[in-house]
Amino acid sequence: MRQPLVMGNWKMNGLRADGLALAQSIIDGLNAGDQGIAVCVPFVYISEVGKLIESTPLALGSQNVADQEKGAFTGEISASMLKDCGVTYALVGHSERRTCYADTDQTVAARFCQAQKEGVIPVLCIGETLEEREGDKTFAVIDEQLNAVIEMAGVEALANSVIAYEPVWAIGTGKTASDEQAQEVHKYIREKIAEKDAAIAEQLQILYGGSVKPNNAKALFSMPDIDGGLIGGASLDAESFLSIYRSI
Ligand code: 13P
C-alpha cells in the first residue's frame, strides 16, 4: 500500500511574512495524525519556515539542490546545507529548471545523487512539452529523463525517492492532463521501473503535477497509479492546498 503525498511548490512567490503566514495557516488546518503533506519553500526562507513547521505534520522541501557536494560553486546550495535546515524533500529537474536554467538529464541525475547521499529524498520531476506530446514523443522523453537517473544512481536508488510526472504543457496553464492521460503515463513509468525491479516500482510514490486544483484533484488522485500531487499555484492558498490534500 503506497502512502499518498501532496506537495506544494511555492516557486518564486511571496516574501518572508507571506511564507510564514501560509505555512501557519496550513499547519492550523492539519490534525496531529495527518501525514504525507509537504511544502517546497524558496531557499532564503527554508530555515525560518522549517523552524515554524518543526514537530508538525507538514514536511519541508526545497525547490532544487546542488549537483556538487561542496566547494567553490558560488550561488549553489548543497544537500548537506538543506539537511542541516531540516529539509526532507528536494525537487530535482523541475521543468522550469530544465527550460529556464539549462538543467540537463545529467545535472538532474547528479542533483538526485547528491540529495540521496545526504538523506534528503529527491523528488524527480519529469514530463514532456506540448511539442513532444504532439509529436508522439511522450514515452521517449520519459524514458530518457528516467534512464539518466537510473544509469547514474542505479534502480535501487529509486526506493528512497519520489517521482513527479509534470507535463510541461499543463504547468501554470490551467490545462490539466485528463485523468486518463495522466494515469497512462504514471502506469508507463511504473511498468518501466518494474522491468528492472518490481518491488521498488510497486512502492514508489508517483505524483502528478500541472494545474491541480481543488475541483480536479479527487478524480486525478483516484487513478490507480497516481499517488498524490505536486501543486504550484493552488498551493499558495492554504484553503485550496488543504482542500487538495483532503481529496486524497
Ligand atoms: P501549477 O500547479 O501552477 O500548474 O504548477 C505545477 C508545478 O509546476 C508544480 O511543481
Quickly name the fold that domain 5-247 has: TIM Barrel (3.20.20)
Catalytic residue among 94, 128, 132, 186: 94
Give the atom of ligand 1 at the shortest distance from the alpha carbon of 96: 8
Which grid cell sits at 104? 540537463
**Mean pLDDT within 158-185:** 94
Residue 206, φ and ψ in degrees, nearest 5 = -120, 115
**Mean pLDDT within 122-135:** 96
* HSE-CB for 214 with a 13 A CA cutoff: 11
Q: Is pLDDT at 86 greater than 90 in this prediction?
A: yes
Confidence class for position 1, pLDDT limits 50, 70, 90: confident
d(CA 109, CA 98): 12
CA of 170 to the centre of ligand 1 (A): 8
Q: What is the pLDDT of residue 205?
A: 98
Q: Where are the domains of the chain?
A: 5-247
Confidence class for position 175, pLDDT limits 50, 70, 90: confident
**Mean pLDDT within 122-144:** 97
Q: Is the CB of 212 under 6 A from ligand 1?
A: yes
pLDDT tens digits, one per residue of 196-222:
999 999 999 999 999 999 999 999 999
Q: Tell me whether residue 128 is one of the annotated catalytic residues.
A: no
Q: Which residues of 126-146 are buried (b: 16+ CB within 10 A; e: fewer)?
A: bbbbeebbeeeebeebbbebb
Which of 62, 103, 211, 236 best tests ligand 1's pocket when mutated (most atoms within 8 Å of CB)? 211
Q: Is pLDDT at 70 greater than 90 in this prediction?
A: yes
